[in-house]
Structure 1
Amino acid sequence: MTQSPTLFHRLASASLIGLIALCIAWEMWLAPYKPGGSIWVLKVLPLLFPLRGVLQKNIYTLQWSSMFIMFYFMEGVVRAMGDAELISRGLAGLEIVLSVLFFISAIYYVRPYKKIAKAAKKKAETESSASN
């Protein structure tokens, strides 16, 4: 499989946007805790922090948001196992899929840049020790 940074960036961006849309729709219309919408829609706010950096291909943002997204994975697992309504469990399953897709695509997008940074660091250390 040829690794395409553009493909991984698009997948990360699409899954993050999809997760934002899912969380809003879930808590406002599809299966809110209370009829008419729930205060739990505020859980989407932390997802907005990395959005700009992810869309701009910021490596640092993709790195920290790949760890941050695991909170949404955990919420999806808990709600898939614990919610009584079938629709809510299905939405939780979709949340799991989107968070895992973001995690994997962000990691694979950042991977080549990490290799370049490691090689540059090793070269600098070698040159530094050779000059001493």
Structure 2
Amino acid sequence: MGKRDEWALAAFVLALVLALWCVLWEGWFAPLRPGGSWLTLKALPIAAALPGLWRGRRYTAQWASLVSVFYVAEGVMRWSDGGGAGFFAKIEALLAFALFVALLAFARRSGQRGKA
């Protein structure tokens, strides 16, 4: 295996941080209900992409980019929530958008390498 693509590594790290952020937000720091929430399960779709992103698989980057849009949308929709949740929503939206950009850059670069 050659040198790891920096966009693939960035996407992996951002996906990991986003999944952890969602769990911490909904489980402990600002849950929808006191004591935690089932919304911690929202971290599962992006966490499912972690093995494929670690291996640098283009297909995983493609479908994970579609999933990341939902995290951006949720973060924007909950942007003005009270009780500290608005802060977590803003960070989620920013992380998810950064992840989306990294995934697209990785998928594009890996597609160009495949044609060369």
Normalised to the residue count of structure 1, the TM-score between the two structures is: 0.78
Aligned length: 114
Structure 2 contact 45–67 (Cα < 8 Å) conserved: no
Unpaired runs of at least 5, structure 1: 121-132
1:34: which partner in 2?
33
Unpaired runs of at least 5, structure 2: none
State the Cα deviation string for residues 29-53 of structure 1 (Å, max 9, x = none): 1000111111111111212221111
Structure 2 contact 16–47 (Cα < 8 Å) conserved: no
Which entry has the higher C-alpha Rg, 1 or 2?
1
| Residue 103, structure 1, aligned to residue 100, structure 2 | yes
1:49: which partner in 2?
48
Structure 1 contact 9–57 (Cα < 8 Å) conserved: yes
2:16: which partner in 1?
17
Instruction: Report the 3-state secondary structure (helix = DSSP H, G, I; strand = E; otherwise coil) of the residue aligned with 1:80.
Output: coil
1:65: which partner in 2?
64
Cα RMSD for the two superposed structures: 1.8
- 1:27 is matched by which residue type in structure 2? E
Aligned identity (percent) is: 32
Normalised to the residue count of structure 2, the TM-score between the two structures is: 0.88
Higher helix share: 1
